[in-house]
Amino acid sequence: MPSLLKRAKDIELKLHALVAEVRELKDELREMEEENSRLRTELAAVYREGCPGAKSSGEAEVKYRGFINLLDLYDQEYHICNLYFGRRRMGECLFCMAFLRKEMELDASGEDGA
């Protein structure tokens, strides 16, 4: 049976190792969070580009595709509202629906105008 002091020292070493591991995990977590938020911003940018679309004859189509993309994203259970864009969605969201409705009305009025 090792002495109490020895056992305490062993535990101390283990704790040090554990703390080091936790620190490592924290670093990795931070990196992932940063990447996640970067990806979210990128995603938002891509969708934004998709919406206003090119001028000329393809405009309506591009706009429509932008809307479909958003709808797809919403269907894949992500928020598309400005509050939580790109975050996982649990159930429906009033703000996403309002955004979709606005987009749809814009599309409709655009078609009427054409």
Partner 1 sequence: MKILTNKEILNNAVQLVQRAVSIKNPLPILAGIKFETRENQVILTATDLDIGIRCSFPAEVIVQGTTVLPAKYICELFRRLPELPIFIEADAATGSVTIQYGQSETRINGYPPEEFPELPLPEGINSFTLPGELLKEIIRQVVFATGNDENRPVFMGVLFEINGSELQVVATDTYRLAWRKVIIENCEETAINLIIPGKTLNELLKIIGINEQIEVTVTKNQILFVAGNVWLISRLIEGNFPKYKQVIPQNHILKVRLKTRDLLDATERASLLAQVKSPVIKLNISENKIIVSSYSEAGRVHEELDVYQEGETLQIAFNAQYLGDVLKVIGSEEIIIELTGPLSPGIIKPVGDNEYLSLLLPVRLREE
By CB under 8 A, is residue 112 in contact with partner 1? no
Contacting residue, 101, 106, 109, 111, with partner 1 by CB under 8 A = 101
Nearer to partner 1, 66 or 74 (CB): 74
Q: Note whether 113 binds partner 1 by CB under 8 A.
A: no
Q: Site map for partner 1, 35-64, x if CB under 8 A?
A: ------------------------------
Q: Check residue 33 for interaction with partner 1 (CB under 8 A).
A: no
CB-based contacts of 60, cutoff 8 Å, min separation 6: 110, 111, 114
Contact in structure between 55 and 101 (CB atoms under 8 Å) = no
Which residues sit at the interface with partner 1, rule CB under 8 A?
A: 83, 91-95, 97-98, 101-102
